[in-house]
Amino acid sequence: MQEHAITNDKIKRPVALRTKMLADLLESFIAALYIDKDLEYVHTFMNVCLFPRLKEFILNQDWNDPKSQLQQCCLTLRTEGKEPDIPLYKTLQTVGPSHARTYTVAVYFKGERIGYGKGPSIQQAEMGAAMDALEKYNFPQMAHQKRFIEQKYKQELKEMRWEREH
């Protein structure tokens, strides 16, 4: 579907659409299918294209990008009766010409630097910093979610991983 999206790209080449844009595109497609055809067509589309992957999507938590995961983890560490602390991103360095920049970003939580990332855009550098923080620090909520999912769906996760590898 991404290849057929009309975007504001002046060079007329395919662009990697953001997750939000792809979600909006899918939502629009489903709405158009409902209006043009009927609920039975939507039901068939969902049964064939969406529902078979839904469990894997939930188990792998693919909807959560690193920045969202880090924010959720930090929010669970809030002190009772106080405003929640959230991760703060700071651009440390910008290198290169305007058409080929590299950004260096650090993420801080409660005043402590917990992650560091680089990328061709500030957003990608922030994602890298969040991923670095998630890998370096043990966030109890994240560990609990992983343990729960691993225990409850151990066999299904094993089968999904096997299918992906073969």
In a domain, 21, yes or no: yes
Q: Say whether both 34 and 71 belong to one domain.
A: no
| 52-76: b (≥16 Cβ within 10 Å) or e | eeeebeeeeeeeebbbebbbebbee
Q: Is the pLDDT of residue 54 over 50?
A: yes
Instruction: Name the band, by pLDDT with cuts 50, 70 and 90, for residue 1.
Output: low
CB 127 within 8 A of CB 66: yes
In a domain, 90, yes or no: yes
Instruction: Name the band, by pLDDT with cuts 50, 70 and 90, for residue 152.
Output: confident
Residue 148 has what pLDDT? 74
Residue 51 has what pLDDT? 86
Q: Say whether both 56 and 71 belong to one domain.
A: no
In a domain, 55, yes or no: yes
In a domain, 88, yes or no: yes
| 90-127: b (≥16 Cβ within 10 Å) or e | eeeeeeeeeeeeebbbbbbbeeeebbbbbbeeeeebbb
Q: Say whether both 71 and 136 belong to one domain.
A: yes
Residue 63 has what pLDDT? 65
Q: Which residues span the domain enclosing 41? A: 2-60
Q: 108 has which bridge partners?
A: 88, 113
> What does the pLDDT look like over 111-123, one tens digit per residue?
999 999 999 999 9
Structure tokens at 14: 């395919």
Tell me which H or E stretch contains 57.
Answer: helix 51-60
Q: 4 has which bridge partners?
A: none
CATH classification of the domain holding 113: 3.30.160.20
Q: Is the pLDDT of residue 74 over 60?
A: yes
Residue 125 has what pLDDT? 96
> What does the pLDDT look like over 6-53, one tens digit per residue?
655 545 444 455 677 888 889 999 999 999 999 999 999 999 988 888
Q: Which among 107, 104, 66 has a CA at the least distance from the CA of 87?
A: 107
* Start-to-end Cα distance in the chain: 26
In a domain, 152, yes or no: no
In a domain, 18, yes or no: yes
Residue 8 has what pLDDT? 58
Residue 41's CB is within 10 A of a number of other CB atoms, namely 13
